[in-house]
């Protein structure tokens, strides 16, 4: 099974078949190859289907895998008399040059979706694989000072603060004062004063149970037929819910949040994470809205809030949804701080090479060189990230 695109290669004949959707404006496109194995061990293709559908089939394996049946909502879109409903466009190509098929597809995506691919890929220091959620103002500033002194002249001029600075998921404009006692606006000014550029991590559509939105505005969340917010699952994280990006109140909250990050704090680089886990079907403020539609609306609000000169990097998400809105895009799994992690991510990075400067500037995650093995469970790390 694949989402968005799939290439099937016959090693004996050297021929390949490629199918790839040109957009995900309304639907996810799911491709399924069915195969059977005979008693002799020979494998043959028994079926092939391409569906324009909702996200529930995928999310039952991911963020909704522990959800009760009433939260695993199968998408249902009404079609009135004399109205039409259509799939996303799915071209295909066959032949002996699969690189040409992939690269031709990438070019089509870039042109049709007006992809943002002209900027220079940013480089700098990133807090996550050094400190994980234990990042503090002192650790961040120490590394920023080292970066400014030793690497800024070589183009390493971004300081990206990952999760740990914020009060709660879904409440990114409020700093955790136990980690950043002077606040992020003050920290941003210090970074700017060093001639560096501030970057911050967010998960734009996740809302934790202790956030202001959940405590005071539950109507801004995606809900089930009973009117209850749908809870998504992430191991070791407090209860999480999904912001309804079609709700005017939620849109204004997104707008104010990302204006604060970009205008008040001075962030020139903003990372958007966990959009794959929050692409769920449910009951939205705007009736009969699909998960891709709702997420795209939220992304457009964020881009409008930060302006054209702030770099946006999509992390986990459906690959096509952010094209034309974001500047960078993660193309594989997290590398972690080990060779094994980098090796695991390498397959996805290689397979999606054609997305680079066609969908967005490819983000392969960090490449770490260190003699120290750090784990996500650690709250404090050492050394300079790369």
**Residue 366: partners with Cβ closer than 8 Å, 6 or more residues away:** 126, 128, 129, 335, 385, 386
What is the separation, in whole angstroms, between the first and last Cα of the chain?
35
pLDDT tens profile 23-77: 999 999 999 999 999 999 998 889 999 999 999 999 999 999 999 999 999 999 9
- 188 closest CA partner among 196, 201, 198: 198
pLDDT tens profile 273-318: 999 999 999 999 999 999 999 999 999 999 999 999 999 999 999 9
| Ranges of H-type helices in the chain | 56-59, 98-112, 128-131, 137-150, 183-193, 212-216, 248-259, 291-306, 339-351
Residue 346: the pLDDT is 93
Q: Three-state DSSP class for 374?
A: coil
Complete domains list, the chain, with CATH? 2-112 (no CATH), 124-363 (3.20.20.70)
Mean pLDDT to the nearest integer, 80-106 = 96
Residue 383 has pLDDT above 90, yes or no: no
Residue 235 has pLDDT above 90, yes or no: no
Residue 222: the pLDDT is 98
Residue 372 has pLDDT above 70, yes or no: no
**Residue 172: partners with Cβ closer than 8 Å, 6 or more residues away:** 166, 200, 202, 257, 261
Residue 379: the pLDDT is 42
Q: What is the full DSSP assignment across 105-122?
A: HHHHHHHHTT----SPPP
Q: Model pTM?
A: 0.94
Residue 193: the pLDDT is 98
User: Taking the CA of residue 371 as centre, how many other CA atoms within 13 Å lie in the half-sphere pointing to its CB?
Assistant: 0
Banded pLDDT at 367 (limits 50, 70, 90): confident
Q: What percent of the chain is modeled with pLDDT above 90?
A: 89
Residue 264: the pLDDT is 98
- How many C-beta atoms surround the C-beta of residue 49 within 10 A? 10
pLDDT tens profile 250-265: 999 999 999 999 999 9
């Amino acid at each position: 099974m694949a989402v968005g695109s799939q290439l099937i290669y016959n090693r004996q004949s050297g021929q390949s078949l490629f199918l790839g959707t040109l957009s995900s404006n309304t639907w996810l496109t799911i491709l399924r190859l069915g195969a059977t194995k005979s008693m002799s061990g020979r494998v043959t293709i028994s079926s092939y289907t391409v569906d324009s559908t909702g996200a529930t089939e995928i999310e039952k394996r991911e963020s909704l895998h522990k959800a009760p049946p009433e939260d695993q909502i199968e998408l249902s879109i009404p079609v009135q008399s004399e109205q039409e409903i259509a799939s996303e466009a799915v071209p295909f190509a066959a032949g002996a040059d699969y690189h040409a098929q992939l690269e031709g597809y990438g070019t089509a995506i870039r042109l049709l979706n007006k992809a943002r691919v002209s900027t220079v890929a940013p480089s700098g220091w990133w807090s996550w694989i050094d400190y994980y959620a234990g990042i503090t103002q002192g650790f961040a500033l120490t590394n920023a000072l080292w970066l400014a002194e030793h690497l800024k002249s070589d183009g390493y001029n971004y300081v990206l603060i990952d999760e740990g600075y914020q009060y709660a998921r879904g409440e990114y404009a409020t700093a955790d004062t136990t980690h950043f006692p002077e606040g992020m606006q003050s920290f941003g000014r210090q970074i700017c004063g060093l001639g560096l550029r501030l970057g911050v991590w967010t998960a734009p559509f996740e809302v934790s149970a202790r956030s202001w939105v959940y405590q005071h505005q539950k109507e801004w969340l995606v809900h089930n037929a009973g009117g209850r917010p749908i809870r998504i699952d992430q191991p070791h994280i407090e209860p999480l819910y999904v912001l309804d990006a079609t709700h005017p109140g939620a849109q204004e909250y997104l707008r104010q949040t990302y204006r604060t990050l970009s205008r008040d704090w001075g962030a020139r680089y903003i990372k958007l994470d966990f959009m794959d886990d929050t692409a769920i079907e449910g009951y939205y403020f705007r009736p009969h809205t699909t998960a891709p539609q709702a997420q795209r609306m939220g992304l457009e609000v964020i881009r409008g809030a930060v302006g054209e000169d702030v770099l946006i990097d999509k992390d986990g998400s459906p690959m096509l949804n952010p094209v034309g809105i974001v500047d960078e895009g993660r193309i594989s799994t997290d590398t972690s701080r080990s060779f094994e992690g980098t090796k695991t991510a390498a397959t996805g990075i290689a397979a999606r090479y054609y997305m680079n400067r066609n969908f967005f500037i490819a983000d392969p995650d960090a490449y770490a060189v260190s003699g120290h093995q750090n784990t996500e469970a650690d709250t404090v790390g050492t050394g300079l990230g790369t």
